[in-house]
Amino acid sequence: MSYHANERGYYGEFGGAYIPEMLYPNCEELRQNYIRIMEEPAFQEEFQQLLKDYVGRPTPLYFAERLSEKYNTKIYLKREDLCHTGAHKVNNTIGQILMAKKLGKNRIIAETGAGQHGVATATVCALMGIECVVYMGEIDIARQAPNVARMKMLGAEVRAAKSGSRTLKDATNEAIRDWINNPVNTHYIIGSVVGPHPYPDMVARFQSVISEEVKSQLQEKEGRKNPDYVVACVGGGSNAAGIYYHYLDTPEVGIIAVEAAGKGIHSGESAATSALGKVGIIHGSKTLLMQTGDGQITEPYSISAGLDYPGVGPMHAHLFRSGRGEFLSITDDEAMTAGLELSQMEGIIPAIETSHAFAIFDYKKFEKDNVVVVNLSGRGDKDLQTYIDYFKL
Amino acid sequence: MNRIKQKLQEDHKLLSIYFTAGYPSLDDTVPIIEALEHAGVDMIEIGLPFSDPLADGPTIQESSTAALQNGMTTALLFEQLKDIREKVTLPLIIMGYFNPVLQYGVEAFCKKCQKIGIDGLILPDLPFDVYQEEYEVIFEKYGLLNTFLITPQTSDARIRKIDNASDGFIYMVSSASTTGAKSGFGTAQQGYFDRIASLKLKNPQIIGFGISNAATFQAATAKAKGAIIGSAFIKHLTQNGTATITEFVKGIR
């Protein structure tokens, strides 16, 4: 049994392509070509070259000595925060912009919540000289002004999603509607392992460079390819998919997923999809999602905009349902405290999304000789104002 | 015989109207259906509102949000419709997104539809292959027709496949777009209408998306069996309420 997607895009019972016919030709074109294109030597060469020279890969695998000492285990940090644009998101946008070029597309659309994926998309569009439209919820535009400015400076057009709750899920709806209206020349760069097949698998493959590097880096540092645990925060789940990817079918490597509990799982203000979600359809994928008993999708809450998504990628829904992954949820307060601790013990200010992953060490005890790799998915510059307000800095 | 199939045999062009259940007011569902039948429309699509209607333009999005805010739910819609067959005889279709149906339970939903006298369903995000593998048996058990969509981008081969799997009519989306009125049909649409007509499909086609008035209705039905009006009707309800439905319908044909 494999925890990877099958050829129809299912992870166990989750995944597939629940899309209206208007999107069928677009998704089908991608489905028929994505693996072939990704495996072309010329594609790989260009992709790897850009990851090295432009993104700054391989990112370091750093042994966090003080943190390890405190929690009495061996903690390694995969430094995705050192990627160009400040997070792992760019691995995927580099891959997808090359894919779009191979498919002959000359216009890019994307959705963004906090703006990280929007910035990563605007960046690669500037790099390639391709028109870029980013949909962003009206509310998020107001609260993420620096990233809006970054996207504009990079030459992208930021369009406000004014429907529904005016946040990430609605920005995604608007991007999908744009794609319905522009089916021929436009490629939609989805930012996470969500959406209809083949997106979850394609994005996971582009992010898989993270665990590929961990394998060789760990070999060098510990004389072994496999850690005992890989840990990542999960909103949609792209950084998690990247660090799990090459370990999915290696049962001796424990998989830990950290979701945002917001103000508490049962507070009514949470984004802990595995705990609160039920099986349903969101953005073309069958997965776990937060919804009313009547099947209306509800609005999640987290202090971290990047974890503020009512669904979760189908890979993760399957990891949860099958028991392959251990799912923990961390509140706003616990995450903020963990972010401050990482800053002061290791000199690294993490994104608040990432801070959630570091909060587990107070709850989950590891053996002294366990090797625990935490994906440090993004840096905290974008969250400085939230940290300032929270800690009254 | 299923009322939709019976209607499709009539020797004239069909006018179908879509509206969102629970809009403008929560209790407007049944009065709108009755008024539409009296006004002489041939078929009605009752929209089951959804929080994230990704194939819809702003008009239907807004009516869906308003209907949900008014308190519309699947259970309430069924309650409102429970005596509808004592009031109207025209074919009734429920159109919506798959997730609310999935949460109600596909079989429970279909069973309820049969009990009420619903004739068919249109669920644009329930894919054709999943329907055939998992749900066709259930739809057939409860005598419900399922209608599939085709678009200008749908290949001839896939249209043939959909035609073979359909038993009723094919919902022909007029252009690559979400719902909502355009300013008419250009040469691209005419070419698409001609292409579909030349395929001589076994199921009649009814055209939807972008039909808003007499001119677009006539253009759409020049080759197809009928046409569906949604957003334009909802706009009419927003501006005029439910009192002048007959005038709206008379203005179309």
Q: Which residues of A touch B55 (CB under 8 A)?
A: 20, 22, 177, 180
Q: What is the pLDDT of residue A144?
A: 86
Averaged pLDDT, B149-159? 96
Task: Give the DSSP H/E element, type plus range, for residue B93.
Answer: strand B92-96
* pLDDT recorded at residue A318: 98
Q: Across residues B58-68, what is the average pLDDT?
A: 96
Nearest-Cα residue of chain B relative to residue A296:
B51
Mean per-residue pLDDT over chain B, rounded: 96
Looking at residue A163, its pLDDT comes to 83
pLDDT at B182 over 80: no
For A70, the token pair is 């405190």
Strand pairing category for A186-189 and A107-112? parallel
Q: Is the pLDDT of residue A352 over 80?
A: yes
User: What would the CATH number be for the domain defined by A56-87+209-391?
Assistant: 3.40.50.1100
* Chain B interface disruption, residue of A28, A173, A180, most B CBs within 10 A: A180
What is the C-alpha to C-alpha distance for residues A108 and A28, in angstroms, rounded to an integer?
Answer: 18
Contact A336, A355 (CB under 8 A): yes
- Is the pLDDT reported for residue A128 higher than 90? yes
The pLDDT, as a whole number, for residue A204 is: 98
Q: Of B58, B99, B178, which is closest to A181 when you measure between CB atoms?
A: B178
Q: Domain A11-50+89-203 adopts which CATH fold?
A: Rossmann fold (3.40.50)
Question: How do the domains of chain B map onto residue ranges?
Answer: 3-252
According to DSSP, the residues that pair with A254 across neighbouring strands are A229
Mean pLDDT, chain A, as a whole number? 96
pLDDT of residue A155: 98
B51, A184: Cβ pair inside 8 Å? no
Say which residue, A234 or A306, is predicted with more confidence.
A234
Q: Where do the structural domains in chain A lie, given as residue ranges?
A: 11-50+89-203, 56-87+209-391
| Average pLDDT rounded to a whole number, residues A285-293 | 98
Tell me if A233 sits within 8 A of A353, measured CB to CB: yes
Q: What's the mean pLDDT in B207-236?
A: 96
| pLDDT tens digit sequence for A88-104 | 999 999 999 999 999 99
Cβ contact B103–A169 (<8 Å): no
Q: Interface of chain B against chain A, CB under 8 Å?
A: 50-58, 61-62, 65, 68, 73-75, 97-104, 124-128, 130, 148-151, 153-155, 158, 173, 176-178
Q: In DSSP terms, which residues pair with B120 in a beta bridge? A: B93, B145
The CA distance from A79 to A81, in Å, is 5
What pLDDT shows up at residue A275?
94
Amino acid at B88: V
Instruction: Give the Cα separation of A59 and A233 in Å (integer).
Output: 18
Of B53, B68, B98, the CB nearest to A281: B98
Distance (Å) from the alpha carbon of A295 to chain B's nearest alpha carbon: 4
Q: Which three-class secondary structure state does DSSP give residue B19?
A: strand
Arithmetic mean of pLDDT, A328-344: 98
Closest CB to A295: pick one of B55, B100, B148.
Answer: B100
- Average pLDDT (A179-189) is 96
**What is the SS3 string spanning chain A?**
CCCCCCCCCEECCEECCCCCHHHHHHHHHHHHHHHHHHHCHHHHHHHHHHHHHHHCCCCCEEECHHHHHHHCCEEEEECHHHCHHHECHHHHHHHHHHHHHHCCCCEEEEEECCCHHHHHHHHHHHHHCCEEEEEEEHHHHHHCHHHHHHHHHCCCEEEEECCCCCCHHHHHHHHHHHHHHCCCCEEEECCCCCCCCCHHHHHHHHHCHHHHHHHHHHHHHHCCCCCCEEEEECCCCHHHHHHHHHHCCCCCCEEEEEEEEECCCCCCCCCCHHHHCEEEEECCEEEEECECCCCCECCCCCCCHHHCCCECCHHHHHHHHHCCEEEEEEEHHHHHHHHHHHHHHHCCCECHHHHHHHHHHHCCCCCCCCEEEEECCEEHHHHHHHHHHHHCC
Tell me if the domain spanning B3-252 has CATH number 3.10.180.10: no
Q: What is the pLDDT of residue B28?
A: 98
Exactly one of B56, B119, B129, B163 is catalytic; which is it? B56
> A198: exposed, middle or buried (C-beta count within 10 Å: 0-12, 13-18, 19+)?
buried
Question: In percent, how much of chain A has pLDDT > 90?
Answer: 95
> Looking at residue B181, what is its pLDDT?
67
> For residue B67, is pLDDT > 70?
yes
Please state, for a pLDDT cut of 70, what percent of chain B lies above it: 100
Query: What is the mean predicted confidence (pLDDT) over B54-63?
Result: 94
